[in-house]
Structure 1
Amino acid sequence: MKFLECKIPPALQFIIIAALMWWISDSIPDLNYSSSQLKWLGISLFSVGVFIGLLGVYEFWKQRTTVDPHKPEKASSFVDTGIYRFSRNPMYLGLLVVLIGILFYFANPVNILPVIGFVLYMNRFQIIPEERVMANKFGEDFFEYKQSVRRWL
């Protein structure tokens, strides 16, 4: 399964999962629980997720390093400042929080399955390969960082 590592961009994975969640809600409407509170919670989480992701992008921009998820070896510097003090993967965490927002917005319990699938896929085929590259490239600094900061949150 190594051929899938860092192949499907996280943004595309996000779009696929979000579309699947919409399709599930549209295809199984009897399970949708419509509530204005859940919709507002969903919108709020969506907004928080976008903000978290943008904070991650900003830190990479400040360090002038790549955000290209296909080529983690192109990273020119090790980023452990800003939001990276709390999460090793705030851009991916942001995508996850947006998906959770969509989950609440559509309020269909079946939609938890694609969200879980997103986390499992990201861990195995994106984050673990990236961490392998970062460990080889940044050595002890990355190892210490990995020990002190959680993968997601």
Structure 2
Amino acid sequence: MEKKVPPLLLFVIFAGLIWLTASWPAPWPLWFSQLLAVLLMLDGTIFCGWAFWQFRRANTTVDPRYPERTAKLVTGGLFEFSRNPMYLGFLLLLLALCFWLHSLSGFLWLPLFVLWLHYWQIVPEERALAKTFGDDWLHYCQQTRRWL
């Protein structure tokens, strides 16, 4: 299962699952949910867009299924704070969807999304990056958290 499902497709699948299972109403006011949803959506979009732009600017691959094709280790910008800002952006967007739908049931999918990404995407990616970049990668990992 390692690196077989593109993270963008995984995001779409989990967004669909959240949408389809939105049934338990949240106990807080709808206006509060929608306000949080908009803020989280903006943050998630910024994280994904900025990370994508940084990869493009560094002339390296954006496709995480092939980390061995990575031409340059990107460590600046958002990558100073998170080794996976694009995945963090996807998580924020899914969280935004949960709030927008004002449903508690959607939140149940979020840990599964994170676990899937961790075990079948991030860990294999990090193994490949360690092979490619050696000590530079290890130093980066010591300085920067995986998520936040």
TM-score (norm 1): 0.92
Q: Which of the residues 2, 5, 15 maps onto 2:2?
A: 5
Instruction: Compute the displacement of 1:53 (Å).
Output: 0.9
CA RMSD of aligned residues (A): 1.0
**CA deviation after TM superposition for structure 1 residue 106, in Å:** 1.4
Q: Hey, what does 1:72 align to over in structure 2?
A: 67
Structure (1/2) with the larger helix percentage? 1
- What is the CA–CA distance in structure 1 between the aligned matches of 2:64 and 2:74, rounded to whole Å? 15
- Structure 1 runs of 4+ aligned residues shifted over 2 Å read none
Residues 1-153 of structure 1 aligned to structure 2 (within 5 Å): 4-25=1-22, 28=23, 31-33=24-26, 35-153=30-148
Aligned-pair CA distance for 1:107: 2.2
Q: Secondary structure at the match of 2:134?
A: helix
Distance, in Å, in 2 between the alignment partners of 1:107 and 1:140 is 46
Q: How many residues align?
A: 146
What runs of 5+ residues in structure 2 fail to find an aligned partner?
Answer: none
Task: Please state whether the residue corresponding to 1:21 is helix, strand or coil.
Answer: helix
Q: Which amino acid aligns with 1:9?
A: P
Q: Aligned partners of 2:77 and 2:36: how far apart in 1?
A: 26
Instruction: Tell me, in whole angstroms, the C-alpha distance in 1 between the residues paired with 2:73 and 2:8.
Output: 22
Taking only the aligned residue pairs, the percentage that are identical comes to: 38
Aligned mates of 1:21, 1:49 — CA distance in 2: 17
What is the rounded CA distance, in whole Å, between the counterparts of 1:115 and 1:107 in structure 2? 15
Normalized against structure 2, the TM-score is what? 0.95
Q: Distance in 2 between matches of 1:5 and 1:37?
A: 38
Gaps in structure 1 of 5+ consecutive residues: none
